[in-house]
Each structure stands twice: as structure tokens, then as C-alpha cells.
Amino acid sequence: MVSRPLAVLAALGLLAGCAAARPNPARTAPGPSREVLPNGVVLIVHEHRASDVVALQLWVKVGGRDEAPDEVGLTHYLEHMLFKGTPTRPTGSIDAMVEGLGGRSNAYTSYDYTHYDLVLPAQHLAAGVALLADIAVNASLEQADLDAERQVVFEEMRLTEDSPDRYLLRRLYELAYEPHPYGRPILGSPELIRGLTREQLRAFYRKHYVPARMVLVIVGAVEPAAARQAALDTFGRLQGPASPRPEVPPPAPLAGRRQLDLPRPEQQAYLGMV
């Protein structure tokens, strides 16, 4: 799944939207707190008691901009794979667990970050944080799951090609940013995805999914001290290199005009401009 609007604001909106249905006694809660754990994980906690749920979000500082030319599409592919399973969570068990707790999960990829989120009943805070920490570094990346997901990614590519709006946006990025990484397709190319190996995907995972590139956000009806302890017990124990994320080069200035006319079978004309 590719980028959508910032989920932190969406989560806050979701929680606030429940207030009318389930009013709680007025209580002044402190604003969000931010802390950097000793291993580099950034922890943001906000107590928000509009309803008895908690939104857990893992932001990983890796996106399309971090891919080498022969890695285009790997960030998005990993996003598809992380909820598949870990050595202690067999394939299918993660979805069953989240649904069994009455929650939901989601994820998406952008050029600048990859995002994973859970919304759960507040009493399952610790279980949700432990799950995110587990998939952050222990994803199994089983060959059978990788092969099955390849077909899903191919279908996403076909949907992009079939949608005039999506197709126009992708080509607009390519034209405006070429040869910058922001001009590459988030989904990759059929050729790269067809030839993707488990070893290549695992190497990319180990390189980028390290504590120093992770931000854990906890928002909901939880005590900040309990949220912090849940993070320390899980994310606080993760290990990995503290190598800084390379800076992305600035896009080249648009000198003059770039224009591309693309004939398609639709009966309407679509125009994109930057």
C-alpha cells in the first residue's frame, strides 16, 4: 500500500470522533511526550481518553528515496511482508491475534518512510507494542509468503496502469523529478520484482530496520508510565547499528519546460502540472 495522509492525525481524529458516543469525565491530560531510548528508538506518548482504545504506530525511516537503482520497490515489498509472521508468530497468526483482540492493522509506504499501525482496546497495549517490536526486526520473510505476495504487488501495478488518475500521478513524478529517487515508482518495476530474491530482501531489511531509524507513537487511553514501560520492555531491547541515514540529494531544478503526451484508450483527457 502506498502513502496516505499522516496517520498520527488520523488516529487522533478517530479517537476524538468517539467522544460524543462515549463521554468521559473531564480530565486534563499532559501533552505528548518525546523521549529517545538508549538504543536510538524515538518514543512519543500521548494520553487521550476520548474512548477506551489505543493507537500504536511504528514509523521506520526508510522509503523509496533510500533505494539503490537495483532495489526500487523493496521498501514497499517489505511493508507487505512484515505482518506475515516471525519465528514465534506463524503465517496467519498475526492477523488472527489482532482481530481476536478486537483491533485492526494497516501499513503503507512513501518515499520518506514506512508506517505500520495497530488500533486495539486499551487493555491490550503491551501485546500490541510487543507485536510491533517483533515484526520490526524478526520478520521471517518466508519464501512461500514472498512468492505469494509477488502476485499481489503485480496486481497493484496493474491497478495503477488501469487507473488514469494513478497513472498520471506516477508519470508526473517521473517527469518532474527525473533522475532523482522521488521520480522512481514506489512499487518498483515488474522486472525487478520478478527477480527479487529472499536474500536480497533480507539484506535490505537488516540494513534499514534498525532502532536508530524507528519512531514508536502511542496515543490513547493509557497511562504514560505504562506506555513507556511497554516500550522499554520491547523496543528498548532491540539492537542494531546506529549508522545515520544518508541525506537525500536535492532534486535538480526544473529548467525550462518538461512535457509528455501519453495516448490512452479513455474518452477523457487528464492533465497534470507541477
pLDDT per position in the chain (274 positions), as tens? 554 433 433 343 433 444 444 445 445 567 899 999 999 999 999 999 999 999 999 999 999 999 999 999 999 999 999 999 999 999 999 999 999 999 999 999 999 999 999 999 999 999 999 999 999 999 999 999 999 999 999 999 999 999 989 988 889 888 888 889 999 999 999 999 999 999 999 999 999 999 999 999 999 999 999 999 999 999 999 999 887 898 988 888 877 788 888 888 888 888 888 7
For residue 99, the cross-strand partners are none
Instruction: Name residue 261's amino acid.
Output: D
Q: Which residues are catalytic?
A: 79
Alpha-helical (H) ranges within the chain are 7-17, 74-81, 93-100, 125-138, 143-162, 164-177, 190-194, 198-208, 224-234
- pTM to 2 decimal places: 0.85
Check residue 166 and give left, alpha or beta (phi > 0: left; psi -120 to 50: alpha). Answer: alpha
Q: Tell the residue number behind the cell numbers 494520553, with chain if given.
A: 47
